Structure formats: structure tokens, C-alpha cells
Structure 1
Amino acid sequence: MAQIIAIANQKGGVGKTTTAVNLAASLAVLKKRVLLVDMDSQGNATMGSGIQKNELLYSVTDVLLGEMPIETAITRAEVGYKVLGANRELAGVELAIAEQEGREFILREALQQIEDKFDYIIVDCAPSLSLITVNALAAVDSVLIPMQCEYYALEGLADLTQTIDRIQQALNPDLQIMGVLRTMFDARNALTRDVSSELEQYFGKKLYDAVIPRNVRLAEAPAHGLPVIYFEKSSKGAVAYLNLAAEMLKKSKGKKGSNA
């Protein structure tokens, strides 16, 4: 059964989609069966996986509208994992399903049909609290929060944790914060170090040891439609996301061992 993880932050520009794409690729490199679900109408995770969003035969929109089985809508990327892609059509879905009974659980029910075919399902959320994002958070087991070490990001983190609490109480009692990932990290910056220390105190073991640095190759890779590990595998960005994937697998194995 797949572990289903949302990559979410209500603040934009924190490396959310970069994390979704590169974590999916890194887990795939580590021999895991991975599905990346793009739940953002910008379709950046789709494009970053080398799939042209405007040429999709079927997308997550078709699945949410009940017009296509999820298995049919999934596309095989050339970078080791599968993708349920998105494009601007997703922006109109919210109005279309607003009056539908069980509208918050459409994605959950779709993923239940295919989750036994994957080890990990990574869901890239839009940086806003919409019905589409609620669908994502109602469907997943846990949330990975990427964030920059700056004070505005801390405010956004407080908003997100409140949202997760509300979703947990109303729709998904098993939802939990899987961890917090520091992105665009520059250890030379005193503010970065200060905020990082605050995160360590507040989140403890839920703060990942892996840190994603500011990295030119990481910024360039999406323009080539590639995760950074396929663009420049020796870059600091590629190594950092591999470290994150390895740490995630180690923690997951530890949990299974403690439950045995």
C-alpha cells in the first residue's frame, strides 16, 4: 500500500513544486514505485517531469470530474516515475464540483483504486486553500512542508498548521505532519541560522536533517523539463534531494520496525 504524501505550503515560492518533482525522482532512483499527482493548475510539476501540460490527453481534471478512470489518466514520464498531470483546466474544477456530495473526497476515492501499485504517491498542492487543496489534504496520510528559513515563512507555517488541524478534525483524522524541510538554505546568512534554530526547537525530530541549498542547477533543471538528478546528478541540489529521499525511507523503515 502506498504512502501518500502532500507537499504543501500556503506561502508560494518556497520550493514546493521543486521538492515534489525532485523527491519523486529521487525515490524512483532508489527503486521505489512512485506516482506524482499535480494538483496545481499552473502544471509546473507536470512540466518539470518532462510532460507538456497542454498536450495531455487526460489530466487530473478528468479524474476529479469523474470523466476518466485514474489509471487511464496517469502518464509515464521519462524520468523513472508516473505522473497524473495538470494544466489550466484544473482551475475550473472547483465550481464544477462545488455542489457535489462528497466533493472533498474525490481524489481520495480515486487514489484508493491504484495505491497498491505504488510505494509512494506524492501530491503537489497549490499555494492556496481551495477545494482542490482540501481534496489533496483529505486524500493523503501526511504532509511534508518545504519552507525557507525566513520570518515571513514562519507566519505561513503557522497558517498551514492551523489548516492541517482543521482538515484533521473535519475530514481526515489520520492526517499528520510528516516533516519540515528547509529549502533555499544559505548557512552563511545569520537570519537563516536563527530561523533554522527556531524550527529545530519547535519541530524536533520532524525537522529533516537533509537541507536543500540554494543551487543554480536546481533552478535551471525545470527549464529543461528534468528533475535535477537527471540534469546534473553531481550537483548539490541533486545530492540534497537524494539525501532527503534516503532519510525518508530510513524513517519509514523505523516506523514499520517499531510497529512490528
Structure 2
Amino acid sequence: MEEVSMTDQATRAHTAITRHGSQPIEPGRTTAVINQKGGQGKTTTTVEKATRLAQRGMKEGKPTRRVRVIDGDGQDGSLTAILIPQWQDTPPAERWELADVMLGRCTLDQATWPTIVPGLDVVPSSEAVNQFSRVATDPGREWTLHEAIEDSKRDYYATFIDCPPDLDEMTLAALVAADGIIIPIKIGGLDFKGLAQLNRTLAKVRKRLRPDQVTHAIIVTQRQQNGLTDDVIDQLLADFPDALHATVRATIRVGEAGFAEQPVLLFAPECTAAVDYREIADVLFVDGEAA
């Protein structure tokens, strides 16, 4: 897809894609959604991408493939609060979560649960996941999540990791586990400056641990029409020439969906953000089944 200028976008039908500089993400890959600063739209981006892929896998009302999301952020209000694990019939002592996986108490499959979205499974998280960063350092512990995904016996079309809003041990493990990354960013001076530290971390991970890792997409969330937004988008295009660049229009529907504990693609499927997230997912993940 050729680059589309902001002027051109104003005179034609809206498109969420500013520039498509990346190859589609292949089935079976693991993607980390990361930004070290909170409030950038990481969780929303993860939930909506995963929901869209699960919807595309539905045939005659039944899922023909599955998508897994891993909640790497143990804070209240994280991904687990939207994609609530459907584990009501499981004894509390057996309701495994990501902390149990990272600390060797169970397998990733044992900590994977269905959600209200058909075909979409979640590995939930809580504050207990912070124990992973506090336990004694073991050689190679940054490979823990990668190994857990590799050891999984379940077949998933895509795996997403919603990273914490910092660069701690859990984030490092998520980056090592990821074949590629998506970076959501909300436009603001301090928000944009935080990318510099993230880029330094990514450079180290790719040099020492994952030289095959790529940046799939840069997604500007809650886009507003102003000069600062245009300037930052231009800079992002220059800094990440090989990534897909996209924007998601601001709408209160995203916040309302979170309050309702639903993906916006279920809560308000025709709102502007839902339209944009759907388009971005269909370009990032091309398999001949996109609607």
C-alpha cells in the first residue's frame, strides 16, 4: 500500500493505514504489544486485534481456530478485566494464571482459559506476576515465557502478549518470547520521548537474544486532528520505515467498552475506533479470510 498524505486522507474515504511498510504477520507467531508508558492504548490494541482475529475464524457460528492473549500486566484494570477468564466451574486453587507459569507451578496451557469471545482464550494476570521480578535470578530466566509458549500443546493462529507499562523482568521475558512487536502510542511530548528508552531496550534484545525480531506496526491511538499529531506521525514514519503505520480515531466508545468489560468490537462494532482496529488487523494478518 502506498503512502497516503494527511491532505489526501481529508479528501477521500477514511483509512486507518498511513503507510504499510511491513509484511503480513504469519499464522502461529507471537506478538508483543508494548510501550513502557501507561495510558498508550496497549491493552485496547491487544484486545481488539485478538478479538478481530477470533471473529474472522468463525464459521457457521463456531470457531475454526483459536487466538491466545497473555496478560503480562498485573495491575488492576488490565486486560484480564476485559477478557475475564471463564473459570467459574474450576476450584479456586486450580485457577492458574501467568504468575504460576512464570514461577514454574503449571504449564501455559493449564493457565489458559476461554473468554466471552468465541475462539479467544486468555492467560490472566494479577499482582502476583510481580513475584517473577522479585525472585532470585536464575540463568536464562528471560527465556521462561518463550519456553512456555514453545512447550504449549495447543495450536493457536496467533498469540498476543500485553506487556506491562515499564521495562522490568516481565517485559524482558515478553520481548524475548515475541517474534514481533506492535507499539501503540498516544500523541504527547512525554509519550513520544519515552520511545527512545524503549528503542534502546529493543536494540539490546535483538542484538543479544532475538536478532530475528521485527517491529510490525506503530499505532497512534486516540488520534486528534492537530499539528502536534501530524508532526509526531511524520517523525514516526521516519524512525520506523519498515513498519505498518496506522491511526485509531478518538472516541468515548473505547472507554465505555472498558467499563462494560467488553472489547469495543463487541460493544460498539460500528464506532470509529472499531472500524479502524478492524482495518488494521485485516492488513496486519492476511490469510484470505478477512471480511
| TM-score strictly above 0.5 | yes
- In the TM superposition, what is the alpha-carbon distance from 1:48 to its structure 2 partner? 1.3
State the TM-score, normalizing by the size of structure 2.
0.80
- In the TM superposition, what is the alpha-carbon distance from 1:4 to its structure 2 partner? 0.5
Confirm whether residue 203 of structure 1 aligns to residue 240 of structure 2. Answer: yes
Q: Deviations over 1:4-37 (max 9, x none)?
A: 0000011211111111111111111121521000
Q: What's 2:18 paired with? A: none
Confirm whether residue 50 of structure 1 aligns to residue 84 of structure 2. Answer: yes
The 5 A counterparts of 1:241-260 are 241-250=277-286
Amino acid at match of 1:195: V
Whole-Å separation in 2 of the counterparts to 1:134 and 1:202 = 22
Going from structure 1 to structure 2, the CA distance change for 1:11 and 1:52 (only over 3 Å counts) comes to farther
Whole-Å separation in 2 of the counterparts to 1:65 and 1:204 = 38
Q: What's 1:14 paired with? A: 40
Confirm whether residue 106 of structure 1 aligns to residue 144 of structure 2. Answer: yes
Confirm whether residue 182 of structure 1 aligns to residue 220 of structure 2. Answer: yes
Counterpart of 1:234 (choices 245, 254, 270) is: 270
Q: Deviations over 1:55-113 (max 9, x none)?
A: 781100111111111111101011130001101111122222x3223211110000002
Greater displacement, 23-32 / 2-11: 23-32
Confirm whether residue 70 of structure 1 aligns to residue 77 of structure 2. Answer: no
SS at match of 2:269: coil
Counterpart of 1:33 (choices 66, 84, 95) is: 66
Q: What's 1:225 paired with? A: 261
Q: What's 2:130 paired with? A: 91
Q: What's 1:257 paired with? A: none
Is contact 2:253-2:271 (8 Å) kept? yes
SS at match of 1:204: coil
SS at match of 1:14: coil
State the TM-score, normalizing by the size of structure 1.
0.89
Is contact 1:149-1:193 (8 Å) kept? no
Counterpart of 1:142 (choices 163, 175, 180) is: 180
Amino acid at match of 2:52: S
Over aligned residue pairs, what C-alpha RMSD do you find? Answer: 2.0
Confirm whether residue 23 of structure 1 aligns to residue 49 of structure 2. Answer: yes
Counterpart of 1:122 (choices 129, 153, 160) is: 160
**Percent of aligned pairs sharing the same letter:** 30
- In the TM superposition, what is the alpha-carbon distance from 1:147 to its structure 2 partner? 0.6
Q: What's 1:152 paired with? A: 190
Q: Name the one with the larger helix percent.
A: 1
Whole-Å separation in 2 of the counterparts to 1:213 and 1:136 = 28
Tell me, which stretches of 5 or more residues in structure 2 are unaligned?
1-26, 58-64
Between structure 1 and structure 2, the one with the greater Rg is 2
- In the TM superposition, what is the alpha-carbon distance from 1:115 to its structure 2 partner? 7.3
Whole-Å separation in 2 of the counterparts to 1:104 and 1:200 = 31
Whole-Å separation in 1 of the counterparts to 2:242 and 2:272 = 23
Whole-Å separation in 2 of the counterparts to 1:179 and 1:36 = 18
Q: Deviations over 1:158-217 (max 9, x none)?
A: 111111001112222222211211111012x12111211222233235142x42111111
